[in-house]
C-alpha cells in the first residue's frame, strides 16, 4: 500500500486490534475480517465456517474485533483485508481519501432505546403522547422527547464514550441544547448520565443491573438474552446470584428501512482487493449467506438477531417485549405502545 494513504481524517479511539481475536477453520489463512458487534454475537464465526465448508481445500479466516472507525483504520494500515462497518459518513470519507471502497450492504442491525420495564422516567407515556398529537411523528421526534424526559427526571442513563458508532448515534439523537456528556463534571449531571468504556454487551448488562436506560443494538440485546444475561436473576461477574433485577424492555426501534435508528452493516475493502476478498464479499451477498443471516440466533433468542439485505430492516418487533422462558417475546406485556 502506498505510504501516501497512511494518514486519514478518521480518528481512532484506544488501541487498534492488530492480531486475530479469533481464527476459524484450519489451514493457511484466507483472509482477515474486521468488525465489532456482529463478530461479538458469533455471526462472523458462523458465516466464516459456512464459507470455508464450500472450499475444496482447508483454509482459515481470522476475525479482528474493533469498533467501526478502528476497523476502517485497521484496513488502512493493512491489518485486515475486509471490514464490516456501520457509519456511512466515515465510509464516504475513507473513499474520498482514496484508500477504501464501499462494496455495499451485507446485513441490517438497528439501534433501540432500552431500559427498565418499570419505566421510572415515564418514557412510554411521552412516546405515546407524541404519537397521538403529532401529525407526522418520526422516530427522531419520539426519541428526542424520550431523552428529554430522561434528562428532566434525571433517570439513570448509561452511555459508552469509546468513539463507537453507538456513541456517535446516541449523541446525534439528543434534543438541541441537551448535551449531558459535556457536563460530566457537574454533580447534577453525573448523578444520572453515566459513561463507560465497556463493550456493547458489558454496557447492556451493567445498565440492566443498575436499572438504567441506554441506546443499544438489536443483535447485542438478543445475544445477551440467548446467553441468559438479562433475566431478573442473571448472575453477577463472579457467577453469584444478585438480588432480583428489574426486567428490561425496548421503548423505541426503527419503523422502516430509512429510519434514524438503522445500523446497517456495509463491506469495505482496499481499492485493489485480492480475489479472496472479492469472493467472500460476493458470498456475503449471496442467497446462501443471506439465509444464514436471516435466521441467525432465532432458536436461542426467540427472534433473529439481524435482517437480510432484501428485508430492509428487521420486521420482527422488540418494542414492548421482554424475556419469557429465556427468549424475547412481545407477549411479555411490558405495556409499551
Give me the percent of the chain exceeding a pLDDT of 90. 83
| 3-state secondary structure at position 163 | coil
Sequence-separated (6 or more) residues with CB below 8 Å from residue 227: none
Whole-number Cα distances in Å, 133 to 67, 90, 144, 173, 260? 38, 36, 15, 20, 21
Mean of pLDDT values over 23-48: 97
Q: Which helix (H) or strand (E) holds 156?
A: none
> Does 69 score more than 70 pLDDT?
yes
Q: How far apart are the first and last CA of the chain?
A: 52
Mean of pLDDT values over 223-230: 96
Q: How far apart are CA 94 and CA 111, in angstroms?
A: 24
Residue 264 CB neighbour total at 10 angstroms: 18
Q: How far apart are CA 156 and CA 136, in angstroms?
A: 29
Q: What is the pLDDT of residue 334?
A: 44
* Structural contact between residues 20 and 62, judged by C-beta atoms closer than 8 angstroms: yes
Q: Which residue has the higher pLDDT, 31 or 11?
A: 31
Q: What is the pTM of this model?
A: 0.91
Q: Which three cell numbers stand for residue 282?
A: 460476493
Q: Which helix (H) or strand (E) holds 120?
A: none
Q: Which three cell numbers stand for residue 92?
A: 464516504
Sequence-separated (6 or more) residues with CB below 8 Å from residue 240: none
Q: What is the pLDDT of residue 332?
A: 58
Q: The domain 3-109+262-311: what is its CATH number?
A: 3.40.190.10
* Structural contact between residues 32 and 80, judged by C-beta atoms closer than 8 angstroms: yes
CATH 3.40.190.10 describes domain 110-259+317-329 = yes
Q: How far apart are CA 159 and CA 167, in angstroms?
A: 7
Taking all residues of the chain, what is their mean pLDDT, rounded to a whole number? 91
E strands within the chain? Answer: 22-25, 29-35, 60-65, 82-85, 101-116, 157-160, 193-196, 213-217, 248-252, 262-269, 322-324, 327-329
Q: What is the pLDDT of residue 336?
A: 46
Q: What is the pLDDT of residue 13?
A: 80
Q: For 288-306, how does the pLDDT look when each residue is reduced to its tens digit (9 = 90+)? A: 999 999 999 999 999 999 9
Q: Which three cell numbers stand for residue 219?
A: 443483535
Q: How far apart are CA 112 and CA 3, in angstroms?
A: 40
Q: What is the pLDDT of residue 337?
A: 44
Give me the percent of the chain exceeding a pLDDT of 70. 90
Which of 35-44, 102-111, 165-174, 327-336 is predicted with the least confidence, judged by mean pLDDT? 327-336
Phi and psi dihedrals of 103, rounded to 5? -95, 0
Q: What's the full length of the chain, in residues?
A: 337
Q: What is the pLDDT of residue 231?
A: 81
Q: What is the pLDDT of residue 236?
A: 53
Place 201 in a pLDDT band, splitting at 50, 70 and 90.
very high
Quote helix, strand, coil % in the chain, to nearest 5.
35, 20, 40
Which of 115-119, 171-175, 229-233 is predicted with the least confidence, judged by mean pLDDT? 229-233
Domain coordinates of the chain in residue numbers?
A: 3-109+262-311, 110-259+317-329
Mean of pLDDT values over 166-175: 96
What DSSP character marks residue 233?
T
> Does 208 score more than 50 pLDDT?
yes
Which of 121-130, 221-230, 236-245 is predicted with the least confidence, judged by mean pLDDT? 236-245
Q: How far apart are CA 297 and CA 41, in angstroms?
A: 9
> Does 234 score more than 70 pLDDT?
no
* Topology alike, domains 3-109+262-311 and 110-259+317-329: yes
Q: For 113-167, how does the pLDDT look when each residue is reduced to its tens digit (9 = 90+)? A: 999 999 999 999 999 999 988 766 799 999 999 999 999 999 999 999 988 899 9
Amino acid at each position: 500500500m502506498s505510504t501516501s494513504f497512511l494518514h486519514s481524517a478518521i480518528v481512532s479511539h484506544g488501541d487498534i486490534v492488530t492480531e486475530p481475536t479469533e481464527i476459524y477453520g484450519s489451514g493457511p489463512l484466507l483472509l482477515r475480517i474486521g468488525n465489532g458487534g456482529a463478530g461479538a454475537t458469533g455471526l462472523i464465526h458462523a458465516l466464516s465456517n459456512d464459507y470455508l465448508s464450500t472450499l475444496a481445500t482447508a483454509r482459515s479466516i481470522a476475525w479482528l474485533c474493533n469498533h467501526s472507525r478502528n476497523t476502517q483504520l485497521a484496513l488502512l494500515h493493512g491489518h485486515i483485508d475486509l471490514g464490516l462497518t456501520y457509519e456511512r459518513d466515515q465510509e464516504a470519507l475513507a473513499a474520498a481519501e482514496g484508500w477504501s471502497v464501499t462494496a455495499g450492504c451485507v446485513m441490517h442491525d438497528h439501534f433501540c432505546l432500552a431500559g427498565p420495564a418499570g419505566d421510572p422516567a415515564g418514557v412510554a407515556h411521552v412516546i405515546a403522547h407524541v404519537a397521538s398529537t403529532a401529525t407526522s411523528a418520526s422516530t427522531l421526534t419520539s426519541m428526542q422527547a424520550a431523552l428529554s424526559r430522561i434528562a428532566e427526571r434525571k433517570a439513570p442513563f448509561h452511555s459508552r464514550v469509546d468513539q463507537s458508532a453507538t456513541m456517535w448515534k446516541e449523541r446525534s439523537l439528543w434534543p438541541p441544547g441537551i448535551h449531558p456528556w459535556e457536563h460530566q463534571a457537574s454533580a447534577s449531571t453525573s448523578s444520572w448520565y453515566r459513561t463507560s468504556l465497556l463493550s456493547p454487551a458489558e454496557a447492556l448488562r451493567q445498565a440492566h443491573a443498575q436499572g438504567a436506560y441506554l441506546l443499544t443494538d438489536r443483535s447485542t440485546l438478543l445475544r445477551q438474552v440467548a446467553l441468559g444475561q438479562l433475566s431478573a436473576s442473571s448472575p453477577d461477574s463472579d457467577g453469584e446470584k444478585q438480588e432480583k433485577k428489574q426486567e428490561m424492555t425496548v421503548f423505541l426501534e426503527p419503523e422502516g428501512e430509512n429510519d434514524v435508528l438503522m445500523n446497517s452493516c456495509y463491506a469495505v475493502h482496499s481499492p485493489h482487493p485480492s480475489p479472496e476478498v472479492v469472493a467472500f464479499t460476493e458470498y456475503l451477498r449471496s442467497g446462501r449467506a443471506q439465509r444464514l443471516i436471516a435466521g441467525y440466533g432465532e432458536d436461542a433468542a426467540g427472534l433473529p438477531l439481524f435482517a437480510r439485505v432484501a428485508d430492509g430492516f428487521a420486521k420482527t418487533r422488540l418494542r414492548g417485549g421482554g424475556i419469557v422462558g429465556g427468549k424475547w417475546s412481545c407477549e411479555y406485556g411490558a405495556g409499551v405502545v
